[in-house]
Structure 1
Amino acid sequence: MPGFLLNRALQYLLTAAAASVIVFALMQLLPGSAAQVALGTEATPEAVRALEAQYGLDRPWPVRYFEWVGGMLHRDFGTSYVTGAPIAPVIADGIQVTLIVVIASIAVALALAVPLGALAALYRSRPLGAVIGAASQVGIAVPSFLAGILLVMVFALGLRVLPASGWAAPIEGLGAFASHLVLPVTALALVQAAILTRYVRSAVLEVMGRDFLRTARAAGRTRTGALVRHGLRSAAIPVVTVAGVQLAALLVGAVVVEQVFVLPGIGSELVRAVSNRDLVTVQGIVMVLVLAVLVLNFIVDLLYPVIDPRVRRGA
């Protein structure tokens, strides 16, 4: 077990280091000076040089790279060339909102997908299995932003039971927080539940054909009882793997839903930074997204030995 965790941690640390080099290099390879971009095309050469000197942009790339990485290790992402404000508080506020929405969405998606996928496998030759399969196909075909727009039309504009947009922090009251969370979470969760339902169905069908499940049936257990008692843990590994991939995709792709519901998440901050040509903020946000994806995948790896002891023994 320690060897397994150490190996995975080392892999993710190396990946994070490589990603930081790539992100920094891509920002530097963009045409034009970052100071020129921040000041605009009308800025004089003297003003550009003054801004470059102020933020150290006239120093060599390696020096600036290691200063940037060292700052991140101390939770300092630098200062925006456009606003002159520190970047770290903007990123911290945005990532909190995005993580709340994304984690709540994947939790709801799994709560729907696991029982529905298992039912679709158990009743694959019956109308219930066909209905679940058809519903999951429709869910996969509907983009999250379209689901969000439809939900707003029905529950915000039509029934007027939920707010159409905006955000309320938990300290502002759990009622307001939950009401603003329902629609964006539902928009993301429905699509993810449809995707995960297909994988749960396939995993359960594969497990149902194994010898140990047939032995449990021969010992007198019902098909459902044998599956719940012995089969779900074996089916969990591929489902957890796919859920981890979808969680990472949700984190990066939540920008669209944040725009639909006007959420102050990290995706909205990224769009704002791009539109303002605030390259240093873009650099910091992209790196935080990369690190968040790596952390989430590491957490998924930590679940493998818990779900399947063979992973622990093989480490």
Structure 2
Amino acid sequence: MALTLLRNFVRSLAVLLVVTFATFSLMFGNGSGIARAVLGMNARPEDVQREVIALGLDQPLLVQYGNWLKGALSGDLGASFYTGQTVTNALSSRVPVTLAIVVITLVLTAALSVLLGVTAAVKGGWVDRVLQFLSVLGTAVPAFIVAIVLVFAFAIAWRVLPATGYVSPEISVSGWLASVTLPVVALLIGSMASAAAQFRTAVLDTLSRDYVRTLRARGISERHVIFRHVLRNSAAPGLTVLSLTTFSLLGGAVFIEQVFALPGMGQLANQSAQINDVPMVMGTVLVTIVIVLVVNFLGDLATTVLNPKARTR
């Protein structure tokens, strides 16, 4: 088990380095453009060149990336080229907004997908057909389209929830719940439909195993078979689906935060990418990858605990 966890950790570290270096490479080579944008379009060429040197944008790619990585390892993610605000301070106020939406959506997705997936696999019939239809529909309709429909329905037509804005739970818990309800529902519809369909498939596969038929033949109650054996053995693919869902939720949050004007990490990443604010972009990418890797690591850990066969892989 320890060897498996160590291997997963090394793999996660490699993914982190590859993704951050790829992101840095895509933004490399536009030093004069960034410096001119910082100083203004009317800046003199000599001032632009001095700004390029001051920002360290004249150095080779590997040197710039090495300096950023060294700072990241020490907790220093740099500061915005444009505002001078440190990346850490900017993220400290925005990460909780995005995490609140993603974590709530992920928890609800896990609970509802298990409930719907097991029900569809066990009951079959019209319940199964409805779930498959909703899965296709939820996957086909983008989250931002769902978000717009929800705004028109619950914020404009019925006026029961706010259309935009975010209220910190420190100010008002009820206001916070109201501000995150529509964003969470917009993300939940697609993620739940997809995860429930995947979990249904895993449960059906487990139900077809010989040991399940043996348990039933021995007269063990269906409830005991489902909750003590089928769910445990279906947990591994279910946890894998939830791990993948985390990444899609973080990607969907970028669009959802734009629709609902939420001051989250996705909005910061979008704005920073448009103006080539390298430190801010790298900071948001780093936090996003860390969140995904932590969730995947916890998923692998849970799979290892629940499924003894995974410990020998």
Give the TM-score range, shorter chain. over 0.9
For residue 245 of structure 1, report the CA deviation from its aligned partner: 0.7
- For 1:256, the aligned partner's letter is F
Q: What is the alpha-carbon distance in structure 2 between the residues aligned to residue 181 and residue 290 of structure 1?
A: 23
Q: What is the alpha-carbon distance in structure 1 between the residues aligned to residue 278 and residue 80 of structure 2?
A: 8
Q: What is the alpha-carbon distance in structure 2 between the residues aligned to residue 132 and residue 16 of structure 1?
A: 36
1:205 and 2:204 matched: yes
Q: What is the alpha-carbon distance in structure 1 between the residues aligned to residue 161 and residue 115 of structure 2?
A: 27
Q: What is the alpha-carbon distance in structure 2 between the residues aligned to residue 155 and residue 240 of structure 1?
A: 33
CA pair 291-36 structure 1, distance change in 2 beyond 3 A: farther
CA pair 192-96 structure 1, distance change in 2 beyond 3 A: same
| 1:34-183 superposed matches below 5 A | 34-124=34-124, 126-183=125-182
Q: Provide the residue aligned with 1:226 in structure 2.
A: 225
Question: Counterpart of 2:57 in 1: which secondary structure?
Answer: coil
Q: What is the alpha-carbon distance in structure 2 between the residues aligned to residue 60 and residue 209 of structure 1?
A: 58
For residue 30 of structure 1, report the CA deviation from its aligned partner: 4.5
- For 1:105, the aligned partner's letter is T
Q: Is the 8 A contact 1:34 1:279 kept in 2?
A: no
Q: What is the alpha-carbon distance in structure 2 between the residues aligned to residue 197 and residue 94 of structure 1?
A: 30
Tell me the TM-score normalised to structure 2 length: 0.92
What whole-Å deviation, never above 9, does each CA across 1:83-132 have from its counterpart, x for those lacking one? Answer: 222222112322221111111111111211111111111122x2232233
Q: RMSD of the TM alignment (CA)?
A: 1.9
CA pair 245-264 structure 1, distance change in 2 beyond 3 A: same
- For 2:56, the aligned partner's letter is G
Q: What is the alpha-carbon distance in structure 2 between the residues aligned to residue 39 and residue 197 of structure 1?
A: 51
Q: Provide the residue aligned with 1:27 in structure 2.
A: 27
Q: Provide the residue aligned with 1:244 in structure 2.
A: 243
Unpaired runs of at least 5, structure 2: none
Q: What is the alpha-carbon distance in structure 2 between the residues aligned to residue 254 and residue 134 of structure 1?
A: 25
Q: What is the alpha-carbon distance in structure 2 between the residues aligned to residue 50 and residue 2 of structure 1?
A: 52
For residue 204 of structure 1, report the CA deviation from its aligned partner: 0.8
Q: What is the alpha-carbon distance in structure 2 between the residues aligned to residue 141 and residue 57 of structure 1?
A: 42
What whole-Å deviation, never above 9, does each CA across 1:264-295 have from its counterpart, x for those lacking one? Answer: 11110112213334233223322332333222
Tell me the TM-score normalised to structure 1 length: 0.92
- For 1:174, the aligned partner's letter is V
Instruction: Extract structure 1 runs of 4+ deviating beyond 4 A.
Output: 30-33
For residue 32 of structure 1, report the CA deviation from its aligned partner: 4.6
- For 2:252, the aligned partner's letter is G
Report how many residues are paired: 313
For residue 33 of structure 1, report the CA deviation from its aligned partner: 4.5
Q: What is the alpha-carbon distance in structure 1 between the residues aligned to residue 98 and residue 84 of structure 2?
A: 24
What whole-Å deviation, never above 9, does each CA across 1:129-186 have from its counterpart, x for those lacking one? Answer: 2233323332222221111122222222222222111111221121111111111111
Question: Counterpart of 1:225 in 2: which secondary structure?
Answer: helix
Q: Is the 8 A contact 2:101 2:183 kept in 1?
A: yes
Q: What is the alpha-carbon distance in structure 1 between the residues aligned to residue 37 and residue 294 of structure 2?
A: 33
Identity between Structure 1 and Structure 2 (%): 35
- For 2:81, the aligned partner's letter is Y
